[in-house]
Amino acid sequence: MSNFIPGQPLVAVVQRIEIKKLRQGDNLILGFSIGGGIDQDPGQNPFSDDKADKGIYVTRITPGGPAETADLRMGDKIMQVNGYDMTMMTHDQARKRLTKKNEDVVRLLVTRKSLEEAVKNSMGGYQRQ
């Protein structure tokens, strides 16, 4: 993930995560916060290895919230939401995508360091570039 070359296919190890939004009155609660987006300064992202990575990252998980239940973790990078690519989105677009009122469930594809490493190790560094 970290060495993404524009124009080249991107290889990422992703995990499927399905979050059922919690309905609280009018609000749908996801139970996590995101940061990042192509309109934000990636250098300040504390979660990314590659400081040029403008992806959407999970910055906070509300304890006991739907996201935690779904095993989303802080620092996860969100790759897709309900099939929509999230790696080239502005922060706002990402928020919109995630907080759609008419969707009670969001299916995420996330990638995280531990995942990558685990796969890399199991593949004997095959993925290393």
Contacting residues toward other proteins, per CB under 8 A: 26-36, 38-45, 51-52, 59-60, 62, 65, 91-92, 95-96, 98-99, 101
Smallest gap from residue 123 Cβ to other proteins (A): 26
Q: How far apart are CA 83 and CA 26, in angstroms?
A: 25
Q: How many Cα atoms within 13 Å fall on the side-chain side of residue 88? A: 3
Q: Which is nearer to other proteins, 88 or 123 (CB)?
A: 88
Q: Which is nearer to other proteins, 74 or 127 (CB)?
A: 74
Report which DSSP code applies to 21: P
**Which residues on adjacent β-strands are paired with residue 107?**
18
Smallest gap from residue 44 Cβ to other proteins (A): 4
Q: How far apart are CA 98 and CA 29, in angstroms?
A: 10
Q: Which is nearer to other proteins, 124 or 128 (CB)?
A: 128
